């Protein structure tokens, strides 16, 4: 938490885990409790970072290029939007942050975690979310939900083995920094997931 009482909350999980379905409920709950809220996403959140997102989602590239692009987008997003919002006392809800890079580029692509840690240090200068909601569910369930909902983008066309590794990457980050994370059993019903999410936010934000 910042000195002004604002919170930085990230939403994570494999594609189709249910982040987008629940971020709005958190937004509304916090607004009802009087918080001013910035709702944003990664890669993205600024004009430059949204342009990098479009390249990232639609062009083929190697894992180092992926990592450099998402960290470049993150740097702009942090400097231009997230840190200023937190210093104004706003609570920031961010659909994905650096755990996604460790899960997708690190565990999914097999890219060097030591390099990612170095980039994380340079780009974030120690800044981490106060709370990370990890929407966890088996990749086959997520794939079925995605298939029913939308056409896949470049990452979503990866196979189940890729998403198993990504899920394992999230589990690894959870094990390393348990105090920051709340694991949500995303295989449950919509209502049950929403209840878990709102409880985890209330536990942290009060």
Ligand X SMILES: Nc1ncnc2c1ncn2[C@@H]1O[C@H](COP(=O)(O)OP(=O)(O)O)[C@@H](O)[C@H]1O
Ligand Y SMILES: Cc1cn([C@H]2C[C@H](O)[C@@H](COP(=O)(O)OP(=O)(O)O)O2)c(=O)[nH]c1=O
Asked if residue 104 binds ligand Y (CB under 6 A), the reply is yes
Q: Quote the tokens at residue 57.
A: 């989602």
Q: Which stretch binds ligand X (CB under 6 A): 1-9, 104-112, 145-153, 174-182?
A: 145-153
Residue that is written with structure tokens 């997520």 in the block = 142
In 3-state terms, what secondary structure has residue 177?
A: coil
Residue 42: which of ligand Y, ligand X, none does it interact with, CB under 5 to 8 A by kind? Answer: ligand Y
Q: State the Cα–Cα distance between residues 156 and 137, nearest whole angstrom.
A: 15
Asked if residue 78 binds ligand Y (CB under 6 A), the reply is no
Asked if residue 100 binds ligand Y (CB under 6 A), the reply is yes
Nearest to 94 by CA among 127, 136, 36, 133: 133
Residue 145: which of ligand Y, ligand X, none does it interact with, CB under 5 to 8 A by kind? Answer: ligand X
Q: Which stretch binds ligand Y (CB under 6 A): 41-49, 82-90, 126-134, 176-184?
A: 41-49
Report whether 113 contacts 102 (CB < 8 A).
yes
Smaller CB distance to ligand X: residue 27 or 146? 146
14 annotated to a ligand binding site: yes
Q: Which residues, listed in sequence order, are joined to residue 131 by a DSSP beta bridge?
A: 9
């Amino acid at each position: 938490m910042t000195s002004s009482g604002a919170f930085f909350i990230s939403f994570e999980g494999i594609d189709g885990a249910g982040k987008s379905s629940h971020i709005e409920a958190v937004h509304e709950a916090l607004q009802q409790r009087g918080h001013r809220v910035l709702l944003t996403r990664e890669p993205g959140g600024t004009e430059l970072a949204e342009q990098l997102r479009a390249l990232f989602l639609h062009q083929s590239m190697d894992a180092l290029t992926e990592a450099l692009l998402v960290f470049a987008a993150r740097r702009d997003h942090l400097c231009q939007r997230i840190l200023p919002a937190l210093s104004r006392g706003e609570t920031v809800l961010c659909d994905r942050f650096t755990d996604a890079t460790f899960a997708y580029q690190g565990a999914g692509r097999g890219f060097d975690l030591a390099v990612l840690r170095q980039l994380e240090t340079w780009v974030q200068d120690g800044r981490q979310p106060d709370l990370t909601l990890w929407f966890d569910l088996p990749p086959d369930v997520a794939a079925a939900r995605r298939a029913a909902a939308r056409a896949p983008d470049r990452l979503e066309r990866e196979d189940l083995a890729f998403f198993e590794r990504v899920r394992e990457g999230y589990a690894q980050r959870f094990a390393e920094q348990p105090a920051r994370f709340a694991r949500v059993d995303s295989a449950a019903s919509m209502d049950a997931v929403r209840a878990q999410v709102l409880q985890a936010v209330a536990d942290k934000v009060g």
